[in-house]
Structure 1
Amino acid sequence: MNILDPVKSIMTTNLLTVTTGDKLTAVKEIFDNHRVHHIPVVRYKELVGIISKTDFLHFLRGFNRNAEDEFVNEARMRAYKVEDIMTKGIAKLAPEDRINVALEIFLENRFHAIPVVNAAGELEGLLTTFDIIKTLAQTPVSPEDILESRKH
């Protein structure tokens, strides 16, 4: 991986999204049925927020201890909308921003996903710490790199 490459070279583009008016039952369904931890919130193609799995679990507050708690949670999820719990003020990247810029943002902040939007504010992808780790893990290591690492 070259950290000077654009983020569009490693970002996730096949995204599951929700809208501000969706019920939280839609969010639960995505988290339950897909291996994602962040769901972008869009109005048409424009990014307006994001919901992390942590935010969603915080909303639930550890319920589900028994059938009654589960019933209460279901009612709460039908009563609340995405806009009620989404994070609005979020960092964003442009597709052409370099990976090293994203690394600095991740290093300075305590979140694990940055939406990638074009100049019109339309969502094009999502860069996560997992995307970076996966790319690093798939980067071939040359014999010279191995010899160099043994010197240190």
Structure 2
Amino acid sequence: MTSKPAAAQHLRDLALLRRVRDRIDREYAQPLDVEALARGVNMSAGHFSRQFRLAYGEPPYAYLMTRRIERAMALLRRGDLSVTEVCFAVGCASLGTFSSRFTELVGVPPSVYRRQAAPAKAGMPSCVEKQVTKPIRNREAPAPEPRLA
């Protein structure tokens, strides 16, 4: 059984973690790192990462990159920015890292996504488009069917 002080501390920690998650959602294009985010809520980086993962199912850096990729997808669908411009607009400092993470989450490189996405989403309401185009992490993707030899 948990004591009242421990339960109260857990609720305070959850409120702090929610504040950090909201900050990531707002400031995804800014240079954010786990140490700075942890300092902002007076936690060690390790403790902060573990607690964030327990609360939200993924580490803070993965959450940040998912937000950046979601925004990049929207910018690429517009079609008026190059992949490099989108990379820097969402706060990534390395085009290689951006492309690798984008491909991992979306399934195709950003240049291919940019080429294919605009006509495919034409006329779709933005609220539906957001749900349809949400990136899927590898752990969430359906497992491939087993092959019988």
The structure whose residues are more often helix, as a share, is 2
Question: TM-score if structure 2 supplies the norm length?
Answer: 0.25
Question: TM-score if structure 1 supplies the norm length?
Answer: 0.25
- Relative contact order (C-alpha < 8 Å, sep 6+): which is higher? 1
